[in-house]
Structures are given as C-alpha cells and as structure tokens.
C-alpha cells in the first residue's frame, strides 16, 4: 500500500509540471522543452539554498523566479529572434545543464537531516501522511491561483493568444509579450515541481530532469483525453483533470513496476504508455467507422 501512496505523492509533486505543460502546450500551443532544464533548476536551487540554511518561505519565491527566468528566456528567443519554439527550448535546456552543474558544484546534493517543507508542519503522525496533506494543500493553492488567473481578463487574453493570434492582436494584445509571460509562468510551475520532488526524495541530482517533459506531457494527454471524452469546457474541471492526469500517470508507472517489469525499462514503458494514450482514442474511433 505504501508503494501506491508514494506514487500518489509523486503524482502530486508532478502536478505542477503538468499544469506548466498544460499552459505551454494546450493554452499557448507551444511545445516547450525548456522543462527538463527548469525542473532541474528548481531542484538545484532548492537543494543549494536548503544546504545554506535558508528558510523554505525564502526558497519558494526564488525557485519560482528562477523557473520564470528560464521560461522567459525561451520566450524571448522564440518571439524576438523568431526561432522555432522547439529549438529555442532545446537551446535553453542545454544551456541550463551547465548552469545547474555550476550551481551545484557537483552532480548530486543529498539533503540528509536537513529540515524541508515536509518536516516544517506536523499534521499527521505518519511522515507519508504528513507529506500527503502538505502536498495536497500546496497543490490546491497553486491550482486555485492558476484557475483564478485563467478566469481573469488577462487569462482570457492568454487563452486567446494560443487560439487565434490574429484576433487577439486586433483586440490590442501584444502576443510576443503574452507568449514570453506564458512560458515564464509554465516554467515557474515546472521549477515548483523540482522544488517539491527534491524535498520529497531528499536530494537533487543533475540528471533528475532527463525526460521529465514526458511526465508532464503524459499527464496532460491523459487529461485531454478525459476532457474530450467528457466534453468538458469548464476551466476548473480541466485543471482538476490535469492534476488527476499527473497522479494517474504515476500510479500506472507504479503498477508497471509492481508487476515485475525491470526498472531499467521504466522510460521505455513510459514512452509506450504515452503513445498508447495518444493513439487509443484514434484507434477506437477508426474501428467504429
């Protein structure tokens, strides 16, 4: 049972990344690969500052800012230099690897016996339950903020930017600035996942971000399948489904491991799983014709 609880906790940690990918991919229609770098950046900044005895309430805004900077950089390269978004993201991600390594000074920072977000408050006796409640509140607050933001005039303009650029420009929105802001927001959320995971697993590692974009992507695609299937138009429900997507994704991976699949094959299984979710609706649609 603990095994699945851990998966649930990881899913909650990854829900910020899922929200980030939802914003960049679904709202702005931009495939953003900066994710791998900004996630690690979030983790690295967290570990480094924790080691220096900084309090969590100081670390949190720093992580958000660091992630936002990385995203804004991708946005600037994409909009101002007119470079393909995919390439812009890859460039920033590659550069971030060196930045992260320089910040860390070595390839791994363990956080043994350092107090983290999860040891800050004691609600439940069992440490896992305690983590669960803290994560749940944290994720709920983040979701509320994003949900509210998407409902505001600014949020509507943001959603329209990815949907009909000619329209939103004629309605007075600087789409370049909007895309830069959106990518900053998406990567700030991604860095938040790095912040959570680093404290949850108790270390930051230079390679923790490799392939992490697929986790966000998979979560969003699960959510999207459900959104289309249930014909959901509400912003709030969509966000809740994105969170569920992140948890479902981790649970499926946990189940895969528990039935005895070699852990070395985990990334392969992940890729196949994402492929399955993407293709299943199309396959079943074809056979019904």
Partner 1 sequence: MIELKKVHKTFNRGKANQVDAINGVDLNVNEKEFLVIVGSNGSGKTTLLNLVAGSVLPSSGSIHIDENEVTKLPDYRRSQWIARVFQNPLSGTAPDLSILDNFRLAAIRTKAKGLSVGVDDQFKKLVKEKIASLGMGLENKTEQPMGTLSGGQRQALTLLMSVMDSCKLLLLDEPTAALDPRSAELVMKTADKLIKDFELTAILVTHNLKDAFHYGNRIILMAEGKIVKDLDEVQKTAIKQNDLFAWFG
DSSP string covering 131-153: HHHHHHHHHHHHHHHHHHHHHSH
The position carrying tokens 């460039």 is 91
For the bound state, the minimum distance from the C-beta of residue 234 to partner 1, rounded and expressed in Å, comes to: 10
Query: Residue 204 is inside which H or E element, if any?
Result: strand 203-205
CA–CA separation, 92 and 78 (whole Å): 11
- 151, 255, 267, 275: residue in contact with partner 1 (rule CB under 8 A): 151
Nearer of residues 54 and 225 to partner 1, judged by Cβ: 225
The stretch among 8-16, 17-25, 108-116, 146-154 that binds partner 1 (CB under 8 A) is: 146-154
Measured at the CA of 193, the angle between CA 270 and CA 248, to 5 degrees, comes to: 40
- Among 157, 210, 232, 261, which residue interacts with partner 1 (rule: CB under 8 A)? 157
Integer angstrom CA distances of residue 63 from 154, 192, 209, 256: 24, 7, 15, 32
Quote the least distance from Cβ 121 to partner 1, whole Å.
29
110: phi then psi, degrees, rounded to nearest 5: -80, 150
Give burial (CB, 10 Å; 0-12/13-18/19+) of 109. buried
Q: Is 44 exposed, middle or buried (0-12, 13-18, 19+ CB in 10 A)?
A: buried
> Is residue 179 a contact residue for partner 1 (CB under 8 A)?
no
- Site for partner 1 (CB under 8 A): which residue of 44, 160, 192, 247? 160
Find the binding residues for partner 1 in span 206-235 (CB under 8 A). Answer: 233
Pick one of 122, 163, 258, 279: the residue that binds partner 1 (CB under 8 A): 163
Stretch that binds partner 1, among 41-49, 166-174, 204-212, 250-258 (CB under 8 A): 166-174
- Residue 52 CA, distance from chain mean position: 26
For the CB of residue 156, give the shortest distance to partner 1 in the complex, in Å: 5
> What's the min distance (Å) between Cβ of 283 and partner 1?
25
Minimum CB distance to partner 1, residue 198 (Å): 30
Q: Which of 6, 130, 174, 256 binds partner 1 (CB under 8 A)?
A: 174
Helix residue spans in the chain (DSSP H): 2-21, 35-51, 56-80, 85-104, 117-120, 127-151, 153-163, 165-170, 175-201, 212-229, 235-258, 266-287
Are 170 and 17 a contacting pair, CB within 8 Å? no
Site string (52-91) toward partner 1, x via CB under 8 A:
----------------------------------------
Question: How many residues belong to the site for partner 1 (CB under 8 A)?
Answer: 23
- Member of 152, 207, 258, 279 binding partner 1 (CB under 8 A): 152
Structure tokens at 6: 């851990």
171 binding partner 1? (CB under 8 A): yes
112 forms part of the interface with partner 1 (CB under 8 A) = no
How many angstroms separate the CA atoms of 66 and 275, rounded? Answer: 32
Assigned token pair, 75: 């946005």
Nearest approach, Cβ of residue 226 and partner 1 (Å): 17
Tell me how far, at minimum, the Cβ of 236 lies from partner 1, in Å: 13
Q: Site residues (CB under 8 A) for partner 1?
A: 148-149, 151-154, 156-157, 159-160, 163-164, 166-175, 233
């Amino acid at each position: 049972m603990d095994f699945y609880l851990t998966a649930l906790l990881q899913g909650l940690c990854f829900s910020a990344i899922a929200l980030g990918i939802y914003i960049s991919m679904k709202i702005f229609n931009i495939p953003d690969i900066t994710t791998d770098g900004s996630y690690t950046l979030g983790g690295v900044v967290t570990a480094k500052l924790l080691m220096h005895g900084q309090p969590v309430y100081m670390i949190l805004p720093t992580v958000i800012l660091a992630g936002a900077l990385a995203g804004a950089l991708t946005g600037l390269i994409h909009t101002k230099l007119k470079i393909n978004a995919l390439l812009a993201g890859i460039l920033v991600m590659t550069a971030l690897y060196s930045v992260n390594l320089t910040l860390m000074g070595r390839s791994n920072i363990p956080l043994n016996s350092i107090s983290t977000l999860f040891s800050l408050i004691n609600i439940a006796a069992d440490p896992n339950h305690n983590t669960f409640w803290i994560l749940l509140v944290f994720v709920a607050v983040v979701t509320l903020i994003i949900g509210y933001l998407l409902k505001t005039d600014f949020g509507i303009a943001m959603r329209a930017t990815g949907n009909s650029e000619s329209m939103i420009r004629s309605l007075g929105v600087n789409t370049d600035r909007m895309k830069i802001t959106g990518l900053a927001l998406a990567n700030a959320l991604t860095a938040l996942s790095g912040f959570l995971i680093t404290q949850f697993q108790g270390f930051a590692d230079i390679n923790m971000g490799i392939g992490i974009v697929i986790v966000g992507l998979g979560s969003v695609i699960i959510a999207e399948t459900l959104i289309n299937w249930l014909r959901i138009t509400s912003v709030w429900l969509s966000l809740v489904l994105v969170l569920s997507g992140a948890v479902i994704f981790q649970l499926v991976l946990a189940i895969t491991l528990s039935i005895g699949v070699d852990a070395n094959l985990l990334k392969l299984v992940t890729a196949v799983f994402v492929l399955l979710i993407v293709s299943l609706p199309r396959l079943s649609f074809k056979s019904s014709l």
